[in-house]
Amino acid sequence: MLTTEAELFNNLVDGEWKPSISQRTFNSINPANKEEVVGVFQASTEEDVKLAIEAAERAFPNWSQTPPSKKATILNKAADYLEENVDQFAEELTREEGKAIGGSRKEVLRSAQTLRYYAVEGQSFTGETFPHDDPQMKVTSELEPLGVVTVITPWNFPISIPARKIAPALITGNTVVFKPSSETPLIAFRLVEALKQAGLPEGVLNFVTGSSRDIGDSLVDHPGVKAVTFTGSTWAGEQIHRNASLDTRTQMELGGKNPLIVMNDADVELAAKLTINGGFSLSGQACTGTSRVLVMKEMKDQYLQALIEKTSALKVGNGFEEGVTICPLASEKQLENVLKYIEIGKEEGAELVYGGKHLTDGHYANGYYVQPTIFTNVSPTMRIAKEEIFGPVISVIDVESYEEAISVANDVEYGLAASIVTNNIGIAQRFTREIQAGTVKVNRTTTGNLINAPFGGIKKSSTSTFRESGRDGLGFFTQIKTVYVGY
């Protein structure tokens, strides 16, 4: 039976917390205990979105002319708010999404760090002066904000991904309409709350919750929207990209099927550790997570032994429990998808050498728990080797050589992240050149990216236009005007 004594949260439109016009709501559920309602949120309509976009349009002229130092002050105050309330917000994030409490705490603090980073970088992001032959003319480029930006984000990093989109959008002078995932609206609310209490003017940031089926199109095809930044599935990203008008800029960070190559000279213990950290952290629900391991045949048995040994030591449980590595999947839909792919792997003839079970006994009964799963004898043509699963499922593929490994690694539609384990500097350098991925690592896990470095993929992992994060993350939110002044 659902525990329904939960707080009701409203949308933020034109500076006011308001219920949806629909008067309908939905529940955010704890994936570790599906009987607990974490919060009740607005089931918004297209009319709610329209009002939010119109509010952002009205706020744009003044915000775009606001001094950069004032914008930076607001971002820093919002960061203060997140840091001051990190214990509460981390607890809410773990209850809402299911991730381990330590990871939740790090994510809230990382989001504060992102706000501070853009508060600094945004104040020095400017145009250029161009040399020319006319001594009585000055030629410069100026960077101008785009206007209203819609921010649509996923549930797996439900505050850090919004922060790295919203902060550069605001510091460059844009106004924002933000729709978080319906699986994790509470922590998104906290980010908006932080910016509002920091002094953000009315209408500059608007917050609407609800199903993408109901309001997704209106967030993209409204004529007032000048840019859409989205992180989520490739299918959804393709829909957004098709629906956006010619003068609406899009930034899509999408799916991945990320490989880890284990060479003959690799440190086996390191390779197993990187596989687990990349494939099983966040219960495999990271877009940069390791989902394929391409291991040299002569190393396979040794590597598998180390991998299974380390995996068997992992603890599955509630994110508040000490020592837990594998937390519940974020939703019933995620659980069903992961279990479906485990069955597909078996049917395709892959060998299940560890895990793969849906845990339902005892304290697992009310949560979305699945064991970490390892398949071996996987063919590169199998669906579990080609399609994004987004769960704690790793496919081990044995190969004869580096050349075969790089060929198999590149033979998917995605190109987000990739890594290699080797002590051969020549092979490492070839790998960084030849792998088809936007984030490339050597002797490090496929997951993780710096706040101050660009992040994004190629092929169907991205629109391959503007990168997120770092100074490059500011570019998407500005347009160039070239100015010639004669005197």
- Give yes or no for a contact between 311 and 283, defined as CB atoms under 8 angstroms apart: no
Residue of 287, 327, 388, 468 marked catalytic: 287
Backbone angles phi, psi at 352, to 5 degrees: -80, 110
Q: What gap in Å lies between CA 357 and CA 148, rounded to an integer? A: 46
Cross-strand partners of 252: 230
Is 287 part of the annotated catalytic residue set? yes
Number of helical (H) and strand (E) elements in the chain, helices listed first: 15, 25
Radius of gyration of the chain (CA): 23
Cross-strand partners of 29: 37
* DSSP state, residue 463: -
Angle between helices 86-97 and 185-197 (to 10 degrees): 150
255: nearest Cα among 31, 467, 476, 456 = 456
Q: What gap in Å lies between CA 226 and CA 389, rounded to an integer? A: 32
- Taking CA atoms, 178 is separated from 8, 9, 189, in Å, by 18, 15, 10
Torsion of CA 57, 58, 62, 68, to 10 degrees: -40
Is 253 part of the annotated catalytic residue set? yes
Q: What gap in Å lies between CA 236 and CA 467, rounded to an integer? A: 19
Residue of 92, 121, 253, 388 marked catalytic: 253
- Give yes or no for a contact between 33 and 2, defined as CB atoms under 8 angstroms apart: no
- Apex 320 CA angle, 318 and 322, nearest 5: 95
One DSSP character per residue, 157-194 reads STTHHHHHHHHHHHHTT-EEEEE--TTSHHHHHHHHHH
Q: What gap in Å lies between CA 286 and CA 284, rounded to an integer? A: 6
Q: What is the helix (H) or strand (E) element at residue 240, kind and residue range?
A: helix 234-243
Query: Catalytic amino acids?
Result: 253, 287
